Amino acid sequence: MTPGSPDILAAARMLADDVLFPDAMRVDGLDAVPAAHLDALAAEGLYGASVPQQAGGLGLDLRTTCAVTEELASGCLATAFVWLQHRGLTMTLAAESTPAALRDQWLGLACQGKVRGGIALTGLIPGPPLLRAQPAEGGWRVDGEAPWVTGWGLIDLLLVVARGPGDSVVSLILDAAAQPGLTVTRQRLAAVNASVTVQLDFDGVVVPRERLASQEPFDPAASLRPDRLRINGSLGLGVAGRCGRMLGPGPLDDELAACRAQLDSALGADVAAMAQARAAASELAVRSAAALAVRDGSKSIMADQQPPRLAREALFLLVFGSRPPIKSALLQRLGAMAVLSAATGTSGAAQHPSSVIAGSPFGGGGSPFGGGGASGSW
C-alpha cells in the first residue's frame, strides 16, 4: 500500500461526490470541462499523482493511481479523462531518460497542475506511420495526423509521439497552441464532448531540438504491456461504480469488485489476461448503465437524466483506448465474434471458455455477455 493512499483515495472520492458528480450533467452539455474542476484536482496534488515524491509528486503506485482514476471517473468522466492524459506528460518528464533541462523546466509545474498536458501517441500505432518526425533545421519537422487528441484549449503542452528515422519513435514536447503548419479540427463526440478532443494535422510543424524527450526503437509490443493497458480500465470501473451506487446494493457490486480484482491480477499476467479484464470492465459499464436505465423507466430516455449520460459514457469506453485483443475479447463477450473475424480475416472458431466473472449471474455461456476467454485470434 502506498503511504498516504487512504487519504488520497478519500480526497478523490470527496472530489467525485461533492464537486464532480453534482455538476456532471451540466459539464456533459458544455463545450469544455470547467477549468475550476481541473484546479480542484490540482489542489489535491493529483496532477502529480504518479510522480515520485522527491520529484514533487504524490508518488502513488499504479494500483493507487488506478483507484484514484476510478473515483474521479465515477464523478465526471469528461473531467477524469482530461486529467488522465496529463499523466503521459508527467511520466515522460519524470523518466530518467528525459533530458534534465526539460524535467527542470516543467516537471514541478506539471505536478502542481500549473502546466497541463495532453498526449498524441499516434506514432505508437502499428502499421504505416500516421505521424512522422524527421530531423530538420532547428529541430524536428513533424508531418501527418493525430486523429484523437484530448484536452485542446485546456492544456499547455502536448507530448507528441511520432515515427522517426530508422524505425524509431520520437517523443517531442510541443506547445499546445496554434502554430505554423498545425491545423486543429474539433471532434464532436456523443459522450465526454467537454473533453475537447480534436484532430491535429501536421504539415511541417517544427519542434525545437531542445524539446526532444527521447528517441527509441519502435516496439509495437510495448503498447500491449499489461501495465500500460491497466489504467484505462478504471474509467469503466468508475462508470459502472456510479451506476451501481445509484442502483443501490446488489449483485453488480460483486461484479465490480471482481472486475477490479481481475484487472489488478492481470498486471502480473500477459496481454490476453489484461485484454479479458479490460473487456470485462467495459462490458460491466454498459450493463450497469443499462440496468440503471431499466430501473428508472421511461424518464431514462430524457436528455437531462443521468442514465443516458452514463450509457453514452459506457459506449465511449467500449472503443476508447482499445487494442486488437481488447476488441476481440469484447466482441466475443458481446456474442459478435464473427464481426471481427469478417473484418480481420481471422478464424471465427474462437472458443468461449467459461466466464471470467466467477459467480456472476451473467457469466454463463447462455448469456450474450458470457464467455470471456482468450481467443488467441487477434
Ligand X SMILES: Cc1cc2nc3c(=O)[nH]c(=O)nc-3n(C[C@H](O)[C@H](O)[C@H](O)COP(=O)(O)OP(=O)(O)OC[C@H]3O[C@@H](n4cnc5c(N)ncnc54)[C@H](O)[C@@H]3O)c2cc1C
Which residues would be at the binding site for ligand X (CB under 6 A)?
A: 85, 118-121, 124-126, 148-150, 189, 197, 223, 319-324
Query: Which of residues 291 and 337 has its CB atom nearest to ligand X in the complex?
Result: 337
Give, in degrees to the nearest 5, the angle at Cα 193 between 191 and 197: 120
Sign of the Cα pseudo-torsion (125, 129, 134, 139, in order):
negative
State the minimum distance, in angstroms, from the CB of residue 150 to ligand X: 3
Query: Which of residues 55 and 125 has its CB atom nearest to ligand X in the complex?
Result: 125
State the minimum distance, in angstroms, from the CB of residue 160 to ligand X: 9
Query: Which of residues 74 and 322 has its CB atom nearest to ligand X in the complex?
Result: 322
State the minimum distance, in angstroms, from the CB of residue 92 to ligand X: 13
Query: Which of residues 225 and 295 has its CB atom nearest to ligand X in the complex?
Result: 225
The DSSP result for 36-64, as a single string, is HHHHHHHHTTGGGTTS-GGGTS----HHH
Query: Which of residues 11 and 200 has its CB atom nearest to ligand X in the complex?
Result: 200
Tell me if residue 181 falls in helix, strand or coil.
coil
Strand 157-164 to 117-120 pairing = parallel
State the minimum distance, in angstroms, from the CB of residue 65 to ligand X: 18
Sign of the Cα pseudo-torsion (182, 94, 68, 9, in order):
negative
State the minimum distance, in angstroms, from the CB of residue 226 to ligand X: 14
What are the cell numbers at 88? 503521459
Residues 206 and 141: their CA atoms lie apart, in Å, by: 5
Query: Which of residues 92 and 300 has its CB atom nearest to ligand X in the complex?
Result: 92
**Which of 125, 84, 119, 122 lies closest to 324 in space, CA to CA?**
125
State the minimum distance, in angstroms, from the CB of residue 324 to ligand X: 5
What are the cell numbers at 13? 472520492
State the minimum distance, in angstroms, from the CB of residue 14 to ligand X: 27
Those residues whose C-beta lies under 8 Å from the C-beta of residue 206, and which sit 6 or more positions away, are 136, 137, 138, 139, 140, 141, 142, 180, 181
Query: Which of residues 78 and 252 has its CB atom nearest to ligand X in the complex?
Result: 78
